[in-house]
Amino acid sequence: MALQSLDIARSSATTTPPPSVRQTTEVAKLIDVSTCIGCKACQAACMEWNDIREEIGTCSGVYDNPTNLTENSWTVMRFAEVEEAGKLEWLIRKDGCMHCADPGCLKACPAPGAILQYANGIVDFQEEYCIGCGYCVTGCPFNIPRISQKDGKAYKCTLCSDRVAVGQAPACIKSCPTGALQFGSKEQMRDYAEHRVVDLKERGFKEAGIYDPQGVGGTHVMYVLHHADRPQLYNGLPADPGISPLVHLWKGFAKPLATVAMAAVALGSLYHYVTKGPNEVSKELEDELEKEDAL
């Protein structure tokens, strides 16, 4: 059922090109930080829809609850208090998977089919094929995936691929009471975001803008920020995220070399077997060793 509505654009550790004739609309989630009140309805809706429940924690003195993403909390609200031009600003950012167009997790993943990118832009983990190596965590420029203590597999936001597949909006988007979360085609979301930016600029936020970082090819989760020039104000949102060069080195350069090395070892062994044969012990040596043992 899924494959008709969600064509796979890319699959981890797989070089075979996927079918690509159908043209799917690219979807996007827009998080308008300026209208978010930090109510966490999205967090509750996410857990409810995805059948995950966070353990009851303790108050850390701030509103962040839970304090970080976990395998059970695929989205969390991050609250930052910053002083701008002598005024306190309470910046609230919904954190979660950005669904990069060029996903670092997928590039780093060694398990075939464990991470998929659908043609509509959603990056989804397939836990059945996950081997729990944690490379996706290293590959992610936004520090999103979490490895479960329970089953050792990686979990993160799916952008409710099961809902999107049947034409519904993700659970978080639907619940949002202020309309800070919007969902639609990437084009629509960009249009709406631009309209929001104009509004924010009129209200005095000169540096308002859209966060759709090109370092990862753009994302399918975009932010409208009042301080788009300094995204790090929003609890360390990276200003220019990119996939770690180590991932490129390991997966791009070192992988074929390792294959060649393995093939060379196999060939070398065969050559050694043919030319030298098995290592045989002569009768004399065997007798001599037996005599030594007898002593």
Scanning 19-27, 141-149, 212-220, 256-264 for contacts with another protein by CB under 8 A, the matching segment is: 256-264
CB 154 within 8 A of CB 128: no
Q: Is 1 in the site for another protein (CB under 8 A)?
A: yes
Q: Is 161 in the site for another protein (CB under 8 A)?
A: yes
Using CB under 8 A as the binding rule, whether residue 44 contacts another protein is answered as yes
Nearest Cα to Cα of residue 29 among 225, 213, 224, 229: 224
Q: Which of 265, 271, 272, 287 binds another protein (CB under 8 A)?
A: 265
Provide the minimum distance between the beta carbon of 161 and another protein in the complex, in angstroms, as a whole number.
4
Closest separation in Å from C-beta 90 to another protein: 18
Closest CA to 18 of 163, 153, 118: 118
Q: Return phi, psi of residue 180, to 5°.
A: -70, -25
Residues in the chain, total: 295
The torsion region of residue 230 among left (phi > 0), alpha (psi -120 to 50) and beta comes to beta
39 binding another protein? (CB under 8 A): yes
Gyration radius (Cα) of the chain, Å: 26
Query: What separation in angstroms does the CA of 168 have from each of 27, 174, 183, 206?
Result: 11, 9, 10, 35
Report if residue 113 touches another protein, rule: CB under 8 A.
yes
Smallest gap, in angstroms, from Cβ of residue 126 to another protein?
5
Q: Are 157 and 75 in contact (CB under 8 A)?
A: yes
Of the listed pieces 22-30, 94-102, 168-176, 222-230, which binds another protein according to CB under 8 A?
A: 168-176
Q: Smaller CB distance to another protein: residue 41 or 154?
A: 41
243 touches 251 (CB < 8 A): no
Q: Rule CB under 8 A: which of 49-78 touch another protein?
A: 49, 53
Least Å from the CB of residue 268 to another protein: 11
Interface with another protein by CB under 8 A: which residues? 1-3, 6, 8, 11, 39-45, 47-49, 53, 112-113, 116, 124, 126, 128-129, 158, 161-163, 165-166, 171, 174-177, 179, 259, 262-263, 265-266, 269
